Amino acid sequence: MTEHSSSQIGSAEPNIPDDPFDDPSYEPADFVVVANRLPLRHSSAPGDDGWLPSPGGLVSALTSVLQNRQGLWIGWPGTSADQEPPSTYEGIRLKTVAISAEEYEEFYLGFSNATIWPLYHDAIRSPTFHRTWWHTYREVNLRFARTVAENVAPGGTVWVHDYQLQLVPQMLRQLRPDVHIGFFLHIPFPPSELFMQLPWRREILAGLLGADLLGFQLHSSASNFSRLARRLTSATGTDSGLDFEGRAIRIGSFPISVDCDQIVELAADPKVRARAREIREGLGNPEFLLLGVDRLDYTKGIQQRIKAIAEMLDDGLLSAERQVMIQIAVPSRESDAHYEQERHDLERAVSEVNGEHGLVGHPAIHYLHKNLPFDELIALYLAADIMLVTPFKDGMNLVAKEYVMCRGDLTGKLILSEFAGAATELRGAYMVNPHDTDGIKESILLAMNAGPKETRDRMSRMRRMIFRRNVYDWAKAFLAALALTTQ
């Protein structure tokens, strides 16, 4: 395996035209967000042919920071379209990084999603290690780093996001030592027993150590990272800061959140509330509506909760007429064999439950494999009595926070895996170990039988926690910590 050197990365000089004013298209940005994906996704679904904003509070929060600082978002437009995405979105500039079909296989499906993703999620599926994938990961990271280097103003600030771009901080530092670099990992950072499997463990750590500030969802991830860096590189220091090659690197936990005001507003919208009533009526006004909303990913523990529901139906603790479940599985990474298998197994499990326990007009589990508009999701959150969030491992899980934000009347119960990052904040949830089917069943029963006072107390405790810090505060806290590193 070849070590990457500064000669591969390119000149250490900023790659800026001699006289930027000679080139009318050259507008360096003081603030750059770089993520694998742009904030837009292409949809060719009937009715919305074209580019749509990617859903979620993260895009809204970063967009508003970029708007205030006339920033630039650098990313990959996704695979679903041949067309170029627009060059601006909501007043912010977008810059595309192209990825070839081969790089899609080796960088995106391969190293990012079949090596790092499973390794960082407790190796729920065995990670695959291929040298060719690693080489392509390095090449694509270098392309991202060069694109940033060419577009960031002298002394500017760059915020790098997530596991697909872990080498960008170091590569960018070599190209542009003048810029301030923050990196945030949205998924867990694994403990050494897992990370040590990675043949390129030192390179990944060195890549991340190029940043001035490294942000993680939880303290445990920050601590895993810091310990590994001290063990495998020349870095010295503590869980909150390291010295590496003559530089000080801050490390912190910044649990991400949701756009509380947007969700509260949508949940109060009469049209959305009417839709929630319509959903319940359409299901025959069940005694209990249970809901799951997940990207269709093997980390999410969807089959575990279906198994628990199936056993409760077998045991006569639930009946398809009185208790109904809706499971929304958002299509994801469909060309990967693990994801294909997961879909296959999940759909078989759902159809077995319905075949055995459903009645004509009353399936026990209503299953949708599609992307839903955000207001339809909010209507589902409003309609559901019990929300099931049971991942085996999850960086945060914003579905849990979205559900809680919808329950302004303090009804609704959340069943939450103790292995979701959100469990450290949402102490009012019914906590479950997703590997423990009996435990999930007991929690569903507890939630079904809880009285109004207990339900109110639990929900208001969770809401207070989320209101304390929304996704805008999250972005502000990270950027304030990054600004401090440069003083």
Interface residues toward ligand G6P, by CB under 6 A: 36-37, 162, 186-187, 332-333
Q: Which is nearer to ligand G6P, 37 or 476 (CB)?
A: 37
Q: Which is nearer to ligand G6P, 163 or 472 (CB)?
A: 163
Q: Which is nearer to ligand G6P, 80 or 240 (CB)?
A: 80
Minimal distance, residue 162 CB to ligand G6P, in Å: 4
Minimal distance, residue 48 CB to ligand G6P, in Å: 18
Minimal distance, residue 417 CB to ligand G6P, in Å: 16
Minimal distance, residue 373 CB to ligand G6P, in Å: 17
Q: Which is nearer to ligand G6P, 37 or 69 (CB)?
A: 37
Q: Which is nearer to ligand G6P, 39 or 363 (CB)?
A: 39
Residue nearest to ligand G6P (CB): 186
d(CA 392, CA 108): 22
Q: Which is nearer to ligand G6P, 64 or 371 (CB)?
A: 371
Q: Which is nearer to ligand G6P, 96 or 332 (CB)?
A: 332
Minimal distance, residue 220 CB to ligand G6P, in Å: 17
Minimal distance, residue 164 CB to ligand G6P, in Å: 6
Minimal distance, residue 58 CB to ligand G6P, in Å: 9
Minimal distance, residue 77 CB to ligand G6P, in Å: 12
Q: Which is nearer to ligand G6P, 36 or 174 (CB)?
A: 36
